[in-house]
Amino acid sequence: MASSFVTPAQRKRRIVRDALLLAVVLVVLVLRLDFPILTANQALKATQARYFFGPGEVITTLDYSREANKVKIGQYDRYYILRHGDWYAWCGVNHYGLFWQTGGLDAVENESNLPLVPLVVSDWNSGAVLVISNAPEITQVEISFPVSQEGKPGYTLLHASQTQSTENCFLIPYLSTAGFVFPEDLQVKGYDADGTLLYQSPVPESWSTYYELR
């Protein structure tokens, strides 16, 4: 069987066609697979798009990739507190060498009729609770939730507080040994500058029914 003859013009058209197909594949990778991501801002936008949030306004940024001696709150290298309308989000992204990677995002809708609205942003290693405040007179926020007693049976309450806020957001970290915090087990309290209790959410039913706390 005689081999087909390819003219220079045909060879050139094939090269152009293959180059166009490669370009299309690269575009699909960038748009659908979020790769490559060269900046943290790209990773932030891609993560928000993946979770159908925003795009939100950045309220504050926590960058653990640059602060090596700072105790991390969670598993990501950089975290953002975001706001989009009445919604607030906690978003994390990772940094690997020259590239960034999309991460995770949790969000809560702010209920303006409540003085304090919490969002648990913890994972199994370490974490925090983001509390949105609708009461300017609240200057300190405290969270409480059950934890197992080390070396003892039963549970006890862990308390953590924060007096500094970014705009109307309090970010309250807690020890990684506490484990994962479930939103239905959480109580929040708000105090004024004199330490007077202004608001406390109802005591969770699980404290008495599951954890047997009185």
Asked if residue 122 and residue 61 are part of one domain, the reply reads no
User: For 52-66, 76-90, 117-131, 189-203, which range has the lowest pLDDT when averaged over its residues?
Assistant: 117-131
| pLDDT band with cut points at 50, 70 and 90 for residue 29 | low
Would 14 be classed as within a structural domain? no
**DSSP letter string over the chain?**
-PPPP--HHHHHHHHHHHHHHHHHHHHHHHHHH-----SHHHHHHHHHHHTT--PPEEEEEEETTT-TTSPPSSSSSEEEEEEETTEEEEEEEEEETTEEEEEEEEEEE--TTSSEEEEE---SS-EEEEEEE--TT--EEEEEEEEEPTTSSSEEEEEEEE---BTTEEEEEE-GGG-PPPGGG-EEEEE-TT--EEEEPPPPTHHHHTS---
Most confident range (mean pLDDT) of 96-105, 107-116, 173-182 is 107-116
Q: Is residue 8 part of a domain?
A: no
**Residue 91 sits in the same domain as residue 138:** no
Residues 207 and 117 in one domain: yes
Same domain for 126 and 213, yes or no, is: yes
Same-domain pairing of 44 and 142:
no
Residue 12, pLDDT score: 76
Q: Which domain holds residue 98?
A: 36-109
Q: Is residue 10 part of a domain?
A: no
Whether 121 and 204 map to the same domain: the answer is yes
Is it the case that residue 5 has pLDDT exceeding 70? no
Final residue before a domain boundary, out of 46, 77, 109: 109
Query: Does the residue 17 lie in any domain?
Result: no
Give how many domains the chain has, as a whole number.
Answer: 2
In the chain the first and final C-alpha atoms are separated, in Å, by: 91
Q: What percent of the chain has pLDDT over 90?
A: 51
Which CATH number fits the domain that encloses residue 148? 2.60.40
| pLDDT tens-digit readout, 62-105 | 887 666 556 667 778 899 999 999 999 999 999 888 899 999 99
Please indicate, yes or no, if residue 19 is contained in any of the structural domains. no
Domain C-terminal end among 109, 124, 152: 109
